Each structure stands twice: as structure tokens, then as C-alpha cells.
Amino acid sequence: MYNDEFLNKKLNERKQQNAFRTLRIIKDKIDFCSNDYLGIVKNNLLQLSTDNCQLRIGSTGSRLLSGNYKLIEETEKEIAIFHQSQAALIFNSGYDANVGLLSSIPQRGDTILYDFLLHASIRDGIRLSFAESFSFAHNDVNDLEKKLNHAKGNIFVVTESVFSMDGDICPLQQLIQVCKKYNAHLIIDEAHATGVVGERGEGLVQHLQLQDTMFARLHTFGKACGCHGAVVLGSQRLKDYLINFARSFIYSTALPEHTAAIIKRSYETFPCLHNERKHLHQLIHFFQSANIPFEKLSSSTPIQVVIVPGNDAIKILSERLQQKKFDVRPILYPTVQKGKERLRIVLHSFNSEREVESLVNELKK
Ligand SMILES: Cc1ncc(COP(=O)(O)O)c(C=O)c1O
């Protein structure tokens, strides 16, 4: 056996924090956890037509070498039209898209200002960049403005439309105003808004008709779209730039044709799921109005948060819920700040009001 005992030091730290992660397969529980907000996966809505039998199975290289194909280019064109963007570039995942975008565009001497609660994929992209970076307090435009006063070079402001761990929405109009004042480029990650926010699930930016003020938008396909991959939206020049400089795009094998077909199918499907969005918003309202003996964050999105400080306490509560067949996951420190450990309850169009009510009753015990 190979001696890799040196790995134990950090693993033991995790265990001491009661934050050791393991993979589990969950069956026969009520889903209050997955990103399948509209039930696209649960209801098997992404079946391909018989024409798709012709699709090549597998992938042969990066898109700059042998991996490019007509269907992925058509899908990008359709997505760009749907999102009212000049151009669209598909990446293999939201993680890759954020890393590619943020590591390649801001240069040495530039400044990145990012919301303190941003997703790890954006943070990792920022870490790979040679630009200076500073966080601003969550959704705090005044704090952002203070930091903008000291920013140098090209300035990039990065945020999420719906925050993945808090479920709240960024103050987009105010952010745009302050970015305009300081000539900063706004980048917005719409991962959790895709499919959910807006009449057709087009996301927050288009819902407010602000797409022309955006430097770049990112939509992921792994949440409400029910598949895999992500797209960066922006100008044709931005697309050309990413094809030339985003290393996570250049040095990675292209998504196979089947995945592009499924993404295309998802974009034909989720905009039409009006009843699902309606029911989902009713459940959100129901949960927000419920009385529970814990702090509940205000959220108008499927991500509902109940704060239960301490890894031990939150693990005990989530285990109890799991035993009662509710698939609700705890979010532990260090994923969130100490004291802000939480249950992240995800609501879906396929959850019934009764299921949500029984979860609420369980939380009251
Ligand atoms: C805000 C945000 N951006 C990006 C990602 C990464 O997307 P993907 O799962 O497609 O890699 C996630 C995934 O959790 C996310 O929540």
C-alpha cells in the first residue's frame, strides 16, 4: 500500500471540525436539496428525438482542435438569441466558465471587486488572475463604492443574481449605477436565476431588461436546466477573447454532442414551464410565511435558509430530518462563516404544499 499518511493532517482537521465530507446515495426521500427547481430531471423532460440517434457518441478533443461541431454552434446561437446577447460561448461547466472568465480577462494592474458571498468557482477564477482583488460586504453598494474609489486599471465587479447559499437577490440596478459612475465592468453569475427568475426563466438581468449594461453574464445548465455545462454571454469580441485566452475552454475536451442536444432541448423546455414557476413561487411564499423557531433568511427564490449555528447542532437537526425522509442538507463551516451554519432547503415545482407543511411542522418540534 502506498504511504499517503501525510494526507491525514488536513483530513483530521476536517473531522475535528465535524465537517468531514462523504459521498452518499440518497433514495426514497422528499427532495428538498437538488437544483432541479422545475422538475426537469425528475419528470424526465429532456428526452431526445429520434433524429438525435445520429449524434456522434463521445468526444474527440478540445473545441479548438477536433472537438467542435455544428450542433454546439447552433445551440450557442439559439441561447444568445434567447438571452438577447450578441454572442454566447459554452463551457463544460459553470466552474470552468467562471475560472476561464475571471482568470483570463482581468490583467496585472487591474482590479476585481467581488461580493463577499460569491461562489467558490468565481473565487478560484479570481485567485488565478494577476489582478488585485478585494471583496465588498454582501449586497452592500456603499461598501462597493468605497472600494471603487481606490480601484486601479480596468475595474471588474463580480456578483451573483441569486446567491447560492443565501437565496437572496443582488441589488442589480444600484450596482449598475455605481459601476457606470466608476466605469467598472459588471459580471453577473445567473446560475440560480436561470429557469426561475423572469416570465420565461431568462434570469434577473433580462427580467429587468438590463442586458445591454452587462459586460458578461453566466448561466449554468446544471441547475433548473437539468443538464450540464454553462454559457458566457456578451459581445462577439468577448467570445473571441475567451476562445483565445480562457484556459479552461482551450485546454479541455469539448462536451459530447449528446450533451449539446440535451442543453438545446432544455432551452426549448424550461421557458414554457409557466405552471411550474407559478407553483414554485407559491411554495416560496408559503415557506416564507411559516413560523419556525429558528432564524429564517428572507428569500424570494427556491433557496430557503434556516440558520442553526454550529456544525454539531445543524448536523443533529439535519439527521433528524433525514430520518423523517426529508432530504435536507446542512451547510457547514467552512463552506459558510462560523455561526452561520444552516439548513439549505431547496423548493421545487414538484414539491406539494403538504410536503412543505410537514417539513415546517418537523422544524417546529
Ligand atoms: C453561483 C454558481 N456559479 C457557478 C456554479 C458552478 O456551476 P457548475 O455546477 O455547472 O460547475 C455554481 C454551482 O453550484 C453556482 O452555485
pLDDT tens digit string along 139-174? 999 999 999 999 999 999 999 999 999 999 999 999
* pLDDT score for 48: 86
Residue 338 annotated among the catalytic residues of the structure: no
- Rounded-to-integer distance, Cα 317 and Cα 323, Å: 10
Q: Decide: 228 and 259 in contact? Cβ < 8 Å.
A: yes
How many angstroms is it from 8 CA to the middle of ligand 1?
A: 29
* pLDDT score for 53: 78
Residue 73 annotated among the catalytic residues of the structure: no
How many angstroms is it from 54 CA to the middle of ligand 1?
A: 31
Q: What is the pLDDT of residues 146-155, one digit of tens each?
A: 999 999 999 9
Q: What is the pLDDT of residues 88-106, one digit of tens each?
A: 999 999 999 999 999 999 9
- Rounded-to-integer distance, Cα 280 and Cα 271, Å: 14
Residue 324 annotated among the catalytic residues of the structure: no
Residue 257 annotated among the catalytic residues of the structure: no
Ligand 1, atom 8, lies closest to the CA of 94
**Average pLDDT of the residues in 183-203:** 98
Q: Is the pTM of this model over 0.85?
A: yes
**Average pLDDT of the residues in 227-235:** 98
Among candidates 159, 289, 262, which has minimal Cα distance to 217?
Answer: 159
Strand partners, 327: 31
C-alpha cell at position 67 = 472537438
Residue 93 annotated among the catalytic residues of the structure: no
Residue 78 annotated among the catalytic residues of the structure: no
The best mutation among 36, 138, 164 to test binding of ligand 1, ranked by most ligand atoms within 8 Å of the C-beta, falls on 164
pLDDT > 70: what percent of the chain? 100
The best mutation among 220, 228, 259, 329 to test binding of ligand 1, ranked by most ligand atoms within 8 Å of the C-beta, falls on 220
The best mutation among 35, 121, 225 to test binding of ligand 1, ranked by most ligand atoms within 8 Å of the C-beta, falls on 121
Q: Decide: 343 and 16 in contact? Cβ < 8 Å.
A: no
Among candidates 86, 131, 82, which has minimal Cα distance to 109?
Answer: 131
Length of the chain: 365
**Average pLDDT of the residues in 276-299:** 97
User: Pick the catalytic residue: 160, 166, 276, 327?
Assistant: 160
* pLDDT score for 206: 98
Q: What is the mean pLDDT of the chain?
A: 96
User: Pick the catalytic residue: 96, 115, 189, 276?
Assistant: 189
- 10 Å CB burial of residue 51 (0-12, 13-18, 19+) is exposed
pLDDT at 84 over 80: yes
Is residue 54 very low, low, confident or very high in pLDDT (cuts 50, 70, 90)? confident
pLDDT at 73 over 90: yes
